[in-house]
Amino acid sequence: MGKKKKKESIEQSIAAYGSGRRVYYPREDLQNSALWSCVVNLSRLYASMPWHAYKVMPNGDRKKEEGSVLAALLKKPNAYMTSYDFRFVMGFNFEMRGEAVAIIKRSRSGFPIALWPVSPSSIVAMYNGGSISYTLALTGETYDVSDVLIIKNTPIGYGAGAVLDPMRYAKDDIDLAQKCKDMQAEYYDGASVVGNNISVPSQFTKDQRDELKRMFDSARGFRNYVTDERIKINPIQVQNADIAKLSEAEKWSAIEVARRFNVPPFLIGDTTGTYANSEQQGLFMVTYCLGPRIAAWEAALNDSLCRQNEYVKFSMAGMLRGDHATRSNYYLTGLQYGWLTVNDVRSMEELSGIGPDGDVHFFPLSVGSIHDVASGKYAGGGNNSGMNAWKIPSEKKIGKPEKETLDESREKRREEKRKHDLLFVEEAQKPAKNNRSKLERMIRLQISEAIDKLKELVATGAPTTSVLSDLRTWLDSTLDNMTAAYKDIYFDVLKKMVPVIQSETGKDDDVSDSSIDSYASVYARSMAERIAGKVASVANASLGTEEFEDEISTLKQDYPIDQSEEETNRASNAFSIFLFSQLHVSVFHVVAASNSCGFCGTLDGKIASVDGYVLTKGSDVDTGDGGVRHIEKNYKHPPFHSHCRCSVAPGE
């Protein structure tokens, strides 16, 4: 039960901490309006600024990810918080404490699937033999350094807590501002009178004097008192000029707070700026205030959450948008000199593209070289129109080409083919990846219902053999419904893959909906049976043991994530081969992933028939590291092992 408690402790603690209770920050600093404006406005900026997951393609291009695990994590960091909530909390701690900390929950395959923000003061760094681990005071659990996200604002060392405390150094400025407010409050509370000079006859005793002083000390506002006619009262008042100086001191202290946070005065409500300098203040905000902070966020996120070819980036383009005239001039320059296309401009204005014609780059002839014109690199040759469309240059050189050896030529063609294959695979897998979240929900639903049924059977007190038998019978009875649910997903994926495969193979043969429906039904049935078999296998292995609760908890929480990702690759490959056969393509070849293992590397480019197998049962295959793997079953297509990301492409 310890394993399950460890997994759920953070979730339960976060839920309890924020379950319908208003939480107050345990410091009086935030009573200062300038500090409140700085911290809250910066936190709102972190929370509302768009952030996206990107993937570096084999050809070096950057592509925004939509259906990946990382993209899903950015949209929903954990079960209880929206992306805005999570980033506001992290931003608040980032500014107030000098660092923001979150616990990273990972799937069994190591992918980050949840982020739980915790107070920086509740995380304790433990140093042991050069390595660091962290203990969460909230639960007592210990976490590896790779499972803790730390975003530092003012770092002075490594590990959690090695930061400058911003509030410690801003204390004097905040105290001064509070004292100015206290004096103003006393001034107005006393009706602009800060005291009285009371003259009394010399024969007044000490007791009489003290009583008179006590009476006036207790007076606030416009109260009236009756005194001896011999007593003269002269009110002590603060001059308006002195009050003005007090207000100036308060403004100065507010500017000091803004200076410490390196934010422009307008962020704290200062209205001294003008229309003429407002744009420059906005540029200052982005360049010198947010720029270094966002760099710290991106560095920490990329280091803790991303794989080698992934990264997270915030978009500050919206904050740099000028007025209409400024943007128009910017776009016009970009279009004229070729570093923007019509579709680029429309995208930045949040308008839909106009198709392939909008991806053409233009440039002025005056910047072209004579060799470029002579080689036909420019559309329109020697015309003198102001802007010309850029054509993809020919491989042909003007001068005499260097002689290539046969082996060099073959290697070059092989590299070009592999780049093309990887780009095709990316497009072919896109429909399945876009439906991964739907598939994960269906897997989770099937497993949850099965676990509920298993617990119901266990609660009857029946023998283990009877429980397992009844569970298997119940699972079989649900296969038809689950098959129908999976089929809807797979039919949609197959339909969207058809034009991609047709374009790659150069075939325009029709693939009927009936054949797609039939294949989707068969594949969906096998999927439903695989999930049912997994539930039965876990129940058979753990029922009646101490690990039972842990095993079904892992099955319910982690398996849908891992399986949906692996199934995305498996289904894409199976569907591709099915469509190859429908388009009368007889052979295909294996495309190893860019980060493949040695075993898969040896299979890169291997050719197989659409009706045959890539790997046959009983064969021995080189593992790429001098070893040999004995194949235990037939493999028609990848994956060839757990977490394999290899794919297929048509032809040789």
Give the model confidence (pLDDT) of 157-181 as tens digits: 887 778 888 878 777 777 777 777 7
Better-predicted residue by pLDDT, 284 or 356: 356
- Checking if the pLDDT of 405 tops 80, the result is no
Structure confidence at residue 27 as a pLDDT band (50, 70, 90): low
pLDDT score of 627: 81
* 453-462: pLDDT as tens digits: 888 888 888 8
pLDDT score of 90: 95
pLDDT score of 238: 60
Q: Global pTM?
A: 0.52
267 contacts 41 by C-beta, under 8 angstroms: yes
Give the separation between CA 432 and CA 494, rounded to whole angstroms: 9
pLDDT score of 22: 39
Better-predicted residue by pLDDT, 302 or 642: 302
pLDDT score of 9: 47
pLDDT score of 296: 94
Per-residue pLDDT averaged across 311-326, rounded?
A: 73
* 48-74: pLDDT as tens digits: 999 999 988 877 778 888 778 888 899
pLDDT score of 229: 60
The most confident of the ranges 121-125, 301-305, 504-508 is 301-305
- Checking if the pLDDT of 275 tops 50, the result is no
If phi > 0 it is left, if psi is from -120 to 50 it is alpha, else beta; for residue 544 that is: left
Better-predicted residue by pLDDT, 236 or 214: 214
- Bond preceding residue 292 cis, omega within 30 of 0: no
Percent of the chain with pLDDT over 90: 15
Token pair 């070849």 is found at 589
* 346-355: pLDDT as tens digits: 877 767 778 8
Q: How many CB atoms lie within 10 A of CB 300?
A: 20
Q: Tell me the helix, strand and coil percentages in the chain, rounded to 5.
A: 55, 15, 30
Average model confidence (pLDDT) across the chain: 78
167 contacts 96 by C-beta, under 8 angstroms: yes
The most confident of the ranges 23-32, 120-129, 221-230, 481-490 is 481-490
Q: Which residues lie closer than 8 Å to 564 by C-beta, 6 or more apart? A: 436, 437, 439, 440, 443
